[in-house]
Amino acid sequence: MTIFTNEYINVQIEESEIPWLKIFTNDNYKELSQCPSEIKQEIFNILDIIEKKMIAYYNPEKINIASFGNYVPHVHFHIMARFKEDSYFPEPMWGKKQRESDLDLPSFDIFCKELVNLLD
């Protein structure tokens, strides 16, 4: 689900037990180096806002930022708030599950609404 879009990028929700967003370029670039400088600048500006908001709102153990694109060869970044109690920590969310988790986190819906207000 897309929660924000502008002329360069869009921000989407990744359904998960943890707060997890993705930033995609609107135009399909395979590699970051192919993006015009204004798009790269917008990606990193939005990524910075999301990371700071996740830290302030959730107080996570760590923020993970990833860009793989092996299955989806379209420039995008994953931004995830990680917690010692989440099912995969310290493994990546694509790694081996470590435990069953029942995180009690502040509302992701409210987080997204507050974030969109910052991005507008």
101 pLDDT higher than 90: yes
Among all chains, which residue has been given the structure tokens 């760590």?
A: 62
Angle at 74 between CA 67 and CA 55, to 5 degrees: 35
pLDDT of residue 71: 79
Residue type, 7: E
Give all domains of the chain, ordered by start, each with its CATH number: 2-119 (3.30.428.10)
| Digit-coded pLDDT (tens) for 83-98 | 999 999 999 999 999 9
| Structure tokens that stand for 48 in this block | 């910075």
Residue type, 61: E
Burial annotation 25-42 (CB, 10 A radius, 16+ → b, else e): beeebeeeeebeeebbeb
| Structure tokens that stand for 42 in this block | 């917008």
Nearest alpha carbon to residue 4 among 111, 13, 100: 13
| Digit-coded pLDDT (tens) for 33-89 | 999 999 999 999 999 999 999 999 999 999 999 998 777 789 999 999 999 999 999
The sign of the torsion formed by the CA atoms of 58, 18, 67, 24 equals: negative
